[in-house]
């Protein structure tokens, strides 16, 4: 894949970057080099390689998935101006 001058200007416009006519050939070369590298990466054989999130093995810390009220409901509502059955009471704002 090759990037032409019009594509460089379109990319610059989408990125909201001011590009002068003198800068276009340099950017065109850089973009073409990046795309060539990506195409080179697609030639790598990755069959049988497991996806990984890190180069070192890691185990996720897990906890039980249980629903609790946090056991601090009284602390949470003690500063509320109005409460009822551990719920906040608020003034009606919609008729």
Domain ranges across the chain = 5-41
Mean pLDDT of 71-90: 88
Quick one: pLDDT band at residue 8, thresholds 50, 70, 90? very high
Q: Distance between CA 38 and CA 34 in Å, rounded?
A: 6
pLDDT over 80 at 69, yes or no: no
Q: Distance between CA 7 and CA 27 in Å, rounded?
A: 10
Q: Quick one: which of 3, 10, 1 has its CA closest to 31?
A: 3
pLDDT of amino acid 49: 87
pTM: 0.51
pLDDT of amino acid 65: 87
pLDDT digits (tens, 9 = 90+) for 47-59: 998 888 888 888 8
């Amino acid at each position: 894949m090759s990037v032409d001058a019009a594509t460089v200007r379109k990319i610059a416009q989408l990125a909201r970057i001011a590009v002068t006519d003198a800068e276009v050939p340099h950017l065109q070369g850089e973009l073409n080099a990046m795309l060539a590298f990506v195409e080179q990466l697609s030639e790598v054989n990755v069959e049988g390689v497991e996806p990984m999130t890190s180069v070192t093995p890691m185990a996720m810390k897990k906890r039980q998935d249980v629903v609790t009220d946090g056991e601090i409901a009284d602390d949470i509502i003690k500063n509320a101006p109005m409460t009822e059955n551990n719920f906040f009471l608020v003034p009606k704002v919609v008729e």
